[in-house]
Amino acid sequence: MKPLHFFLLLSLAFLTFSFSIYLQPAIEAPAGSTDTALAAQGRLVWQKYNCQSCHQLYGLGGYLGPDLTNVYSAPGKGEAYIRAFLKAGVAPMPVFDLPEEEAAQLAAFLKAADASGSASPRDFIILPTGMTKRK
């Protein structure tokens, strides 16, 4: 194969793949997403206490503690569980004795994060195009 043909073949493959990506439907926030003003304040609380240094959201963050994307809806967990962890702490996690207002904002933030999607790779399938789709 001549270099020019090879170049044209690669260009065509590139254009076809780029075009196919633009044919994918736009990603929309799942129904029931609760990104309210309270949750937006909770995001600031999350940042203020640097929870991300030890925890991940959507798999990104520090790896000392577990991913918290879906801690709100996980069986046996939820808001009371989150609050208990903040109040009591555990050996590697310091006690965060937050004022009630901040605790409620933080809980709303984790609720909104939970409603926005899933962090577990097991919840997704990989399509032949290389894109992922929720099961």
Give the Cα separation of 126 and 95 in Å (integer): 40
Site residues for ligand HEC, window 4-43 (CB under 6 A)?
Answer: none
The SS3 of residue 15 is helix
Q: Which of residues 102-131 bind ligand HEC (CB under 6 A)?
A: 106
Count of residues near ligand HEC by CB under 6 A = 21
**Cβ–Cβ under 8 Å, residues 115 and 108:** no
> Applying CB under 6 A, which of residues 35, 38, 54, 124 lies at the interface with ligand HEC?
54
Q: Least Å distance between CB 121 and ligand HEC? A: 17
- Binding piece for ligand HEC, criterion CB under 6 A, among 3-11, 87-95, 114-122, 123-131: 87-95
Distance of closest approach, residue 39 Cβ to ligand HEC, in angstroms? 13
Q: What are phi and psi of 29, to 5 degrees?
A: -65, 135
Which residue number, 49 or 124, has a Cβ lying nearer to ligand HEC?
A: 49
Question: What length does the chain have?
Answer: 135
Residue 82 binds to ligand HEC (criterion: CB under 6 A): yes
What secondary structure does DSSP assign to 68-123, as a single string? -TTTTTSTT-SHHHHHHHHHH-BTTB------HHHHHHHHHHHHHHHHT----GGG
Residues that bind ligand HEC (CB under 6 A): 49-51, 53-55, 64-66, 68, 71, 77, 82, 85-86, 90, 92-94, 96, 106
